[in-house]
Amino acid sequence: MPAGAVPDASDALGAHINHDERVVAAAIAALPGIGPQRLRTFIGALGVMSTWHVVRGEVRAPAHIAAVLQHDNLHGVVRRAATSQLLDQMAESLHAGNIRVLLASDAEYPASLRDDFAAPAVLFARGNLAAFTNRRVGIIGTRAASAAGRHFARQLGSDLAQNGVSVVSGLARGIDAAAHRGVISRSADDDDTQRDAPTTTGAPIAVVASGLDVVYPREHAALWQHVAERGVIIGESPPGCAPDAFRFPLRNRILAAVSEILVVVESRATGGSMITVEEAAQRGVTVMAVPGSPHSETSAGTNALISDGAATVCDATDVMVALGLDHHRHAASSDARTRPLPADRVVLDALARRPMTFEQIVAEVNLPLQDVAMSLGRLDAQGWAVVNGGWWEALLAMRAATTV
């Protein structure tokens, strides 16, 4: 730590900083009390290096910046935090996490975001930013998704990726993860078949709330890695930043801004997905929703969106048409599952209405218990039903492949 060995006071006026502008920008983003709004104000008015000098008190601030800094003793707080150690630490984290820093002036800064009224002044990215040149569709939904919802999101993600569309999502539990898993499953196929040929699969784009080196939720570590390898993860939180609750609504605005179309797969009447929808509406991004049963809590939000005029999504074709792409070029997703036996059909029909436990199914279909158990075993093996924590759900065919 060469710079850290120098006492803080000595580099106060010398102001020789060993790091480039991007590291300094990351450090400013990491300062306490400076959120996206203030960051935009400061850097927009002063530029990165001057902002650093201002917060360190080395340069007098313009009046409107000074007014902000005086608020709640912000200046004292940030001055204490803006040390050369912070710069070293940022440089190290950015390097270790393979994280790039993008400023709004950079050519690679996503164009759709640069024009946004609440664009992040400093954007962090891990992966290949070329994904932003693709058509982009956001797939979002509740974390507490039904198995059917996750199945749908996965299929939609997979089909869109196959058509060269980049799927934008938030890497949260439930729908978000399912959508990107669908994308990954596609690009994994690419890897197997034609490693050298230019891939036409839409690269995934993830927009996250925490620092790019802070995997949240932790069980998605492998998924993060896959998305970063095949596409890109972006966010405005500096490295090491925890997934604080207030960061998620902020993340949602970025997600809405980079999407051309936003598809809500499952959502309750209120929640994070609805915040994203709100942000999308403010930006003129088309919102589409997947209809669900009126009995299903997890479809209450999407059904409400549809009654408010959102277009429905029953399969990838609906989205492709909305994007104005020629959807006939590519084969629709085919349902390769074996058709269920007539006896199993009874059980599947019952499951299609709502998720049920084994004992609820037995009561509902009025068949011998052992027969129901055998049917469930077969439906599970054929991929028509899935059990999750004792709750069975049907995985019905998408419209394009309704051959059953």
Instruction: List C-alpha distances in Å: 199 to 161, 210, 321.
Output: 11, 30, 22
**Of 314, 360, 365, 383, the one binding another protein by CB under 8 A:** 360
Size, binding site for another protein by CB under 8 A: 31
The one among 297, 330, 335, 401 contacting another protein by CB under 8 A = 297
Write the secondary structure of the chain as one string of H (helix), E (strand) and C (coil).
CHHHHCCCCHHHHHCCCCCCHHHHHHHHHCCCCCCHHHHHHHHHHHCHHHHHHHHCCCCCCCHHHHHHHHHHHHHHHHHHHCCHHHHHHHHHHHHHCCCEEEECCCCCCCHHHHCCCCCCCEEEEEECHHHHHCCEEEEECCCCCCHHHHHHHHHHHHHHHHCCCEEEECCCCCHHHHHHHHHHHHHHHHHHHCCCCCCCCCCCEEECCCCCCCCCCHHHHHHHHHHHHHCEEEECCCCCCCCCCCHHHHHHHHHHHHCCEEEECCCCCCCHHHHHHHHHHHCCCEEEECCCCCCCHHHHHHHHHHHCCCEECCCHHHHHHHHCCCCCCCCCCCCCCCCCCHHHHHHHHHHHHCCEEHHHHHHHHCCCHHHHHHHHHHHHHHCCEEEECCEEEECCCCHHHCCC
Query: For residues 221 and 363, which CB has a smaller minimum distance to another protein in the complex?
Result: 363
168 in contact with another protein (CB under 8 A)? no
d(CA 296, CA 265): 13
Nearer to another protein, 286 or 360 (CB): 360
Q: Which of 355, 384, 395, 396 binds another protein (CB under 8 A)?
A: 355
User: Minimal distance in Å, beta carbon 355 to another protein?
Assistant: 5
Closest approach, Cβ 251 to another protein, in A, equals 18
Q: Which is nearer to another protein, 260 or 393 (CB)?
A: 393
Instruction: Rank residues 66 and 369 by Cβ distance to another protein and give the closer one.
Output: 369
Contact status: 296 vs another protein (CB under 8 A): yes
Q: Which amino acid is at 339?
A: R
Q: CA-to-CA distance for 283 and 285, rounded, in angstroms? A: 5
Name the segment binding another protein (CB under 8 A); options: 45-53, 94-102, 117-125, 374-382: 374-382
- Which residue's CB is nearer to another protein, number 41 or number 293? 293
357 is a site residue for another protein (CB under 8 A): yes
Which of the residues 99 through 138 are near another protein (CB under 8 A)? none
Q: Which amino acid is at 151?
A: H
Between 79 and 354, CB nearer to another protein: 354
**Residues in contact with another protein, shown as a per-residue x/- string from 255 to 294 under the rule CB under 8 A:** ----------------------------------------
Q: Identify which range of 34-42, 125-133, 323-331, 373-381 contacts another protein by CB under 8 A.
A: 373-381
Residue 363 touches another protein, criterion: CB under 8 A: yes
Residues of this chain, 211-230, that bind another protein according to CB under 8 A: none
Q: Which amino acid is at 240?
A: G
Q: Which stretch binds another protein (CB under 8 A): 179-187, 202-210, 334-342, 369-377?
A: 369-377
Q: How far is the CB of 297 from another protein (least distance, A)?
A: 4
Asked if 44 is part of the footprint of another protein (rule: CB under 8 A), the reply reads: no
Q: Which of 146, 162, 210, 333 binds another protein (CB under 8 A)?
A: 146
Task: Check binding of 359 to another protein (CB under 8 A).
Answer: yes
Q: Which residues bind another protein (CB under 8 A)?
A: 143-144, 146, 173, 296-298, 354-355, 357-360, 362-363, 369-374, 376-377, 380-381, 387-391, 393
